[in-house]
Amino acid sequence: MTTHSAATEPSGSGTAQRTTRDLTRAAVSGWLGTALEFMDFQLYSLAAAIVFNKLFFPGASPALGLLAAMATYGVGYVARLVGAVYFGRMGDRMGRKKVLVITILMMGASTTLIGVLPTYAQIGMLAPTLLVALRLVQGFGAGAEIAGATVMLAEYAPVRRRGLVASLASLGTNSGTLAASGLWALLLGVLSEDQLLSWGWRLPFLLSFLPLLFAIWLRRSLKESPVFEERPDVVDGVALSGDELRAAANGQPVAARSDAGQQPGGGERPGDDGRPGSAEKPAATLEAGLRQRKGRAFFLTLGLRFGQAGNSGLVQTFLVGYVAGTLAIERSVPTDAILYGSLVGFATVPLVGMAGDRWGRRPVYLVLTSLMIVLAFPLMLMIAHGSTLALTLGMILALNIGVLGLFSLESVTMAELFGSRTRFTQLAVAKEIGGVLATAIGPVLAAGLTAATGSWWPVAAMLVVYSLITLISALLAPETRGRDLVRLEDAV
């Protein structure tokens, strides 16, 4: 029988181990899932900025058409929040793996179906209605995708390499953005306007079906998170309810599960290897999950999320349409800039992850957010009034400092701030509330402000505000590097 050496330095403090092969499979699964999520969303956001205003909202002025397209882009974030609550609770209660299989299936199927939608010219108002409906389904599944992948990677990772391993979720977002931007850049470069509007825009959505099939196969064969198995409140593969946890903390026995012996998604239940059941854990350990101070870690996480999410909506979504529409610059220029920025991100993301492992999460947060605050107005000046080279360089720097760099830190810091009992739910909800408040509303607000002022400065001001919120949150947050992820209580 073939054996594999166990991955060193387990993420938790218990005995559940995973082999190097298990860690590799989890890493590829997390990277691929987030790549698909962000490819799907970037495909949609670029289509919203470039063609959806003409295909689904014809007759409106360029500014109003862009505003309507950005609004349909934003509604998906409402569904993401609902999905974060629903699937987050499922992930904390029944395990991470089951949720990750369901969410990627919902997300990928809805994206593929967008590619076969009839347009406004074919079926009238039913076309944008169907577009919004698929956007809602896509958002519902995606609401827990990035959170689940982030949690799984952080809980699999060796302690001293947790920032680097968890950054693969961010690298997945970069890969997805790159794939979507590359597809659109290719289409814009080789197709005429008529070809693009008649059939070319459908190709990226239809092609997303191929990596989806591989992602589903990979996740079905993935083992459950070792931290979930080590949790002292998990019995027979399902987390104890509040009443059951109180009973266990008081030394009372916990009734056997009806599905005893089976982990969600397959595998043996915790305890079959001889480890004690949850009812036998020290009362103090179990009580920690009930007595934790709730709320502070969540709001700190929300603040950390705000800068990255807000900057992402402005740089990767709004500026593409703004440069092509309002500034009347060739539409391939901003999409090429996002493409080049994503390529640079393959170095930025792991380097930031390693920097967080070496010097801690807070110092790196402070450096990146301070840089973004200082550079916001110069970068927007380069984008709005510079040459093509200056515009491209400005978007590359904004993307890597204010979006990808912060995302790399966010992936591990948020997981470390929360206790294992509610990590999936709190992380997912914080991400999606930040997405609704910043990424979804941001492009719509920016479109309104730039139309009202006739200038680019509101975008720079929004970049400063978003980054300042994250800077303050990083100053208030504790250093989480090396924290035991099996602990039930939050870090603050």
| 33-37, 271-275, 403-407, 460-464: least confident range | 271-275
High-pLDDT (> 70) share of the chain, % = 81
- What's the average model confidence in pLDDT over 385-413? 92
Residue range(s) defining the domain that contains residue 140: 20-226+292-476
- What's the average model confidence in pLDDT over 235-249? 70
Confidence at residue 254, expressed as pLDDT on a 0 to 100 scale: 62
Q: Is residue 179 part of a domain?
A: yes
- How many structural domains comprise the chain? 1
CA dihedral 226, 149, 422, 361 (to 10 degrees): 90
Indicate which CATH number applies to the domain containing 69: 1.20.1250.20
| 285-299, 343-357, 374-388: least confident range | 285-299
* Interatomic CA distance for residues 226 and 81, integer angstroms: 27
Summarised one tens digit per residue, pLDDT across range 307-335 is 999 999 899 878 888 887 777 677 778 87
High-pLDDT (> 90) share of the chain, % = 28
Burial of 247 (0-12, 13-18, 19+ CB in 10 A): middle
Question: Does the pLDDT at position 245 exceed 60?
Answer: yes
Q: Which one of 10-14, 123-127, 267-271, 302-306 scores highest in mean pLDDT?
A: 302-306
Summarised one tens digit per residue, pLDDT across range 200-214 is 888 888 888 888 888
Q: Is residue 247 part of a domain?
A: no
The pLDDT confidence band at residue 272, using thresholds 50, 70 and 90, is very low
Confidence at residue 273, expressed as pLDDT on a 0 to 100 scale: 36
| 156-160, 196-200, 369-373, 470-474: least confident range | 196-200
Q: Is residue 60 part of a domain?
A: yes
Q: Is residue 458 part of a domain?
A: yes
Q: Is residue 93 part of a domain?
A: yes
More confident position, 55 or 248: 55
Residues contacting residue 149 through CB under 8 Å, at least 6 positions apart: 29, 30, 31, 33, 34, 100, 169, 172
The pLDDT confidence band at residue 344, using thresholds 50, 70 and 90, is very high
Q: Which among 411, 420, 416 is positioned nearest to 30, based on CA atoms? A: 411
Q: Is residue 302 part of a domain?
A: yes
Region class of 271: left (phi > 0), else alpha (psi between -120 and 50), else beta: left
Q: Is residue 340 part of a domain?
A: yes
- What's the average model confidence in pLDDT over 359-379? 96
Q: Is residue 256 part of a domain?
A: no
Tokens for 383, please give them. Answer: 């984008």
